[in-house]
Amino acid sequence: MDKAFVNYDIRDKVGIITFYHPKSNSLPSDVLKELANKIKIAGEDDNINIIVLRSEGDKSFCAGASFDELLSIETLEQGKEFFLGFARVILEMKKAQKFILTRVQGKAVGGGVGLIAASDYALAYKDASVKLSEYAVGLGPNVIGPAVERKIGKAAFSQMSIDFEWYNSTWAMNKGLYANVYYTISDLDEAVVKLAQKLADASPLAARELKKIFWEGTDNWEQLLEQRAEISGRLVMSDYTKNYINQFKNK
């Protein structure tokens, strides 16, 4: 496959959102926009009771921000708008009136970790290590930070942000990012299907009220994430960031 996509399918009251990008499932602005749109549609769809979020392929779950697009940013407005793409996805995940169950079949970096953290429940394959690499790039996990911190706590979030190392799936499960880890993809898929169907058959009204409780204290996120997007939008234009990305791409 050489073309990015975001698909939305319905199977037995389960809404399945699948995204793909040929560069390790990275997230350029067009994919972010479509991902937010599909989550909004699914969140309001009375034909489903649960959303499953997944990426295509058997390698990376999500490589985060598109380096190609980061290099093309020339103004603060462009930078802020790009990072608002991540904010809008997280906000739609928060507002969705259904639980979001995320299947993590491979490694996740940066914004990919943000997607997992903004999910209500995540199941992962044993090789699904996670990394926050934004500080190394000269940015920082500013926009996704509130979602990650909410899920794993400030201490673990600070640790990931500062050392920008890979953390394995066991660490991620122990910190609460993953609910469970599986040692084969078939076991992971079986667990996702089984839980999705159980949630699809449960009370949608109860799920809606319970999700409100889970997300208490986040009413200010629309303003907060916009502020964070502006910070990243400013930093992405620095010489440090441009040089880092060029060196990374030329390895």
Q: Which 8-state DSSP code applies to residue 70?
A: H
Q: Is the pLDDT of residue 222 over 80?
A: yes
pLDDT (tens digit, 9 = 90+) per residue, 190-217? 999 999 999 999 999 999 999 999 999 9
The pLDDT of residue 226 is 98
pTM of the model: 0.97
Q: Is the pLDDT of residue 224 over 80?
A: yes
* Three-state DSSP state, 250: coil
Percent of the chain with pLDDT over 90: 96
pLDDT tier for residue 115 given thresholds of 50, 70 and 90: very high
CA distance 35 to 88: 9
The pLDDT of residue 12 is 95
pLDDT (tens digit, 9 = 90+) per residue, 1-52? 789 999 999 999 999 999 999 999 999 999 999 999 999 999 999 999 999 9
pLDDT (tens digit, 9 = 90+) per residue, 51-94? 999 999 989 999 999 999 999 999 999 999 999 999 999 999 99
Q: What is the mean pLDDT of residues 119-134?
A: 98
Strand partners, 9: 16
Q: What is the mean pLDDT of residues 119-125?
A: 98
The pLDDT of residue 29 is 97
Q: What is the 3-state secondary structure (H, E, C) of 172-205?
A: HHHCCCCCEEECCHHHHHHHHHHHHHHHHCCCHH
Q: Which 8-state DSSP code applies to residue 62?
A: B
Closest CA to 248 of 71, 80, 26: 71
The H or E element spanning position 125 is strand 121-125
Q: Is the pLDDT of residue 251 over 80?
A: no
Q: Where are the domains of the chain?
A: 5-185
The pLDDT of residue 1 is 72
The pLDDT of residue 106 is 98
Please give the distance of CA 75 from its chain centroid, rounded to a whole number: 25
The pLDDT of residue 156 is 98
CA distance 5 to 159: 33
Max alpha carbon distance in the chain (Å)?
53
Q: What is the mean pLDDT of residues 150-172?
A: 98
Neighbours of 133 (CB within 10 A): 20
The pLDDT of residue 250 is 81
CA distance 184 to 121: 19
Average confidence score pLDDT of the chain: 97
Give the CATH fold of the 5-185 domain.
2-enoyl-CoA Hydratase; Chain A, domain 1 (3.90.226)
